[in-house]
């Protein structure tokens, strides 16, 4: 009998014949993470990861999150394990999670490696295109055992993205400048997920060819580019970020009042709400396309 039991375990079977297939999760480092069973306790190390877990129907499995994780509302009640760059390793170990989900470009690789050395299972995720959000939702649901919910919600995302692509396919491009920060002046290049999201609307980033993902640019370069629209995140309780350009009325976007503000949390995070911000951006860019200005918020 012991020999038979050992053979069954190797095959992923019990004596009753029940199959427990391993869970295979693609990682951002091109490796595959294998879970022998579903993760009942999960820790996320970035705000968008917590949102993704809840959207995948696995919110009950989340035991702790990184700082600044605020959506959905239930996340605010969860314990914190530090921010993206100062991860509290001892605090994470105390929770004994089945799975720690990290953000490849947002968390220090040294900290992620240390967690692995301490015997924790770490899954590194990276989302560089809006199409990948649904894919990650499905895999989180697979990891947490909420696949019936996660697959349905992933299909909702795919349907919404397909609708946006169909609606704005073939539209005349609209040149834009996306401002991350004003002083010093930072923007995004064409490889950034925000830029790739705005491509769906026919948006054309005037700094798309720069090599850095979030490069610093000078004011003169922007003036020479003279985009049709200027876009910035709308941060509550802060003055409008594009007000710094009001002293430059010769800029086409300023002269035409083609200034677009998108909710900061939605546009800045690779999570399901990014598609809501894309929808808004597409409608506003279409106003610029047809009238040269932004007349109203849809």
The residue among 206, 201, 191 whose CA lies nearest residue 277 is 201
Q: Is the dihedral of CA 105, 106, 111, 117 positive or negative?
A: negative
Q: What is the pLDDT of residue 298?
A: 66
Q: What is the pLDDT of residue 295?
A: 84
Per-residue pLDDT of the chain (298 residues; tens, 9 = 90+): 333 333 333 344 333 333 447 899 999 988 899 999 999 999 999 999 999 999 999 999 999 999 999 999 999 999 999 887 789 999 999 999 999 999 998 888 899 999 999 999 999 999 999 999 999 999 999 999 999 999 999 999 999 999 999 999 999 999 999 999 999 999 999 999 999 999 999 999 999 999 999 999 999 999 999 999 999 999 888 889 999 999 899 999 999 999 999 999 999 999 999 999 999 999 999 999 999 999 876 6
Could you give the CA distance from residue 89 to residue 86 in angstroms, rounded to a whole number?
Answer: 9
Could you give the CA distance from residue 172 to residue 186 in angstroms, rounded to a whole number?
Answer: 26
| Residue 261: φ, ψ to 5° | -115, 130
Q: What is the pLDDT of residue 51?
A: 97
Could you give the CA distance from residue 280 to residue 263 in angstroms, rounded to a whole number?
Answer: 10
Q: What is the pLDDT of residue 5?
A: 32
Domain boundaries, the chain: 2-154, 170-291
For residue 151, the SS3 value is helix
Could you give the CA distance from residue 80 to residue 136 in angstroms, rounded to a whole number?
Answer: 23
Predicted TM-score of the model (pTM):
0.89
> Which option is the CATH number for 2-154: 3.40.640.10, 3.40.50.1980, 3.40.50.10860, 3.90.550.10?
3.40.50.1980
Q: Is the dihedral of CA 277, 283, 285, 288 positive or negative?
A: negative
Please state the three-class secondary structure of 42-84 as a single string. EEECCHHHHHHHHHCCCHHHEEEECCCCCCCHHHHHCCECECC
Q: What is the pLDDT of residue 237?
A: 81
Could you give the CA distance from residue 139 to residue 135 in angstroms, rounded to a whole number?
Answer: 7
Half-sphere exposure of 23 (CA within 13 A, CB side): 21
For residue 82, the SS3 value is strand
H helix runs in the chain, sequence order: 2-11, 47-55, 89-95, 109-117, 131-144, 147-168, 193-199, 219-225, 252-255, 264-268, 274-291
Q: Which residues sit opposite 158 in a β-bridge?
A: none
CATH number of 170-291: 3.40.50.1980
């Amino acid at each position: 009998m012991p020999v038979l039991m050992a053979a069954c375990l190797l095959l992923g079977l019990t004596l009753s014949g029940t199959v427990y297939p391993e869970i295979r999760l693609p990682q951002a480092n091109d490796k595959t993470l294998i879970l022998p069973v579903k993760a009942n306790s999960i820790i996320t190390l970035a705000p968008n990861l917590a949102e993704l877990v809840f959207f995948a129907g696995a919110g009950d499995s989340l035991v702790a999150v990184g700082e600044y994780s605020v959506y959905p509302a239930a996340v605010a009640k969860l314990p914190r394990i530090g921010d993206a760059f100062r991860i509290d390793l001892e605090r994470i170990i105390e929770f004994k999670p089945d799975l720690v989900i990290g953000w490849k470009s947002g968390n220090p690789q040294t900290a992620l490696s240390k967690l692995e050395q301490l015997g924790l299972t770490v899954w590194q995720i990276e989302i560089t295109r809006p199409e990948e959000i649904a894919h990650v939702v499905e895999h989180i649901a697979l990891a947490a055992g909420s696949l019936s919910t996660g697959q349905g919600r992933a299909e909702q995302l795919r349907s919404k993205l397909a609708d946006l692509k169909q609606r704005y396919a073939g539209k005349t491009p609209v040149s834009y400048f996306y401002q991350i920060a004003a002083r010093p002046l930072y923007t995004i290049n064409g490889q950034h997920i925000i830029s790739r999201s705005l491509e769906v609307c026919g948006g054309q980033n005037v700094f798309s060819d720069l090599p850095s993902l979030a490069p610093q640019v000078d004011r003169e370069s922007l003036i020479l580019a003279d985009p049709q629209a200027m876009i910035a995140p709308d941060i509550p309780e802060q003055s409008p970020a594009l007000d710094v350009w009001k002293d430059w009325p010769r800029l086409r976007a300023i002269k035409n009042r083609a200034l677009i503000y998108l909710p900061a949390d939605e546009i800045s995070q690779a999570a399901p709400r990014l598609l809501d911000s894309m929808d808004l951006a597409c409608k506003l860019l279409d106003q610029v396309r047809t009238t040269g200005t932004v007349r109203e918020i849809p």
